[in-house]
Amino acid sequence: QQQVKQSPQSLIVQKGGISIINCAYENTAFDYFPWYQQFPGKGPALLIAIRPDVSEKKEGRFTISFNKSAKQFSLHIMDSQPGDSATYFCANLGGAGTALIFGKGTTLSVSS
């Protein structure tokens, strides 16, 4: 089974700081690398995703950096806010259709 290894498991960042979460993947056959965000008591929701034809994608304060040779991609949250406190999951396509294999998640706490 394809693996997706995510780190760190938890992260505490001061308000205004930069949060960085890393993901290492195995399946190089697919071309879609997403990050999902989950608030307590809710289902996950797509935050940002990247295709490997670019090395970086930015949406507001959220940036994905992609390193194809290292088989890694990371999520950077600039100017972190208390409202960003959530669990973040990276994923890689893992089966037929669009089935995703998720990392184990990173719990981010942004202190005010």
Partner 1 sequence: NAGVTQTPKFRVLKTGQSMTLLCAQDMNHEYMYWYRQDPGMGLRLIHYSVGEGTTAKGEVPDGYNVSRLKKQNFLLGLESAAPSQTSVYFCASSLSAEQYFGPGTRLTVT
Residue 15: CB minimum distance to partner 1, A:
26
Write a three-state SS string for the chain.
CCCEEEECCEEEEECCCCEEEEEEECCCCCCCEEEEEECCCCCCEEEEEECCCCCEEEECCEEEEEECCCCEEEEEECCCCHHHCEEEEEEEECCCCCCEEECCCEEEEEEC
Is 44 a residue that touches partner 1 (CB under 8 A)?
yes
Applying CB under 8 A, which of residues 89, 92, 108, 110 lies at the interface with partner 1? 89
Applying CB under 8 A, which of residues 43, 60, 69, 70 lies at the interface with partner 1? 43
Is 23 a residue that touches partner 1 (CB under 8 A)?
no
Q: Which two tokens stand for residue 47?
A: 């935050």
Applying CB under 8 A, which of residues 9, 67, 81, 111 lies at the interface with partner 1? 9
Is 98 a residue that touches partner 1 (CB under 8 A)?
yes
Q: Which residues bind partner 1 (CB under 8 A)?
A: 1, 6, 9, 32, 34, 41-46, 49, 89, 93-105
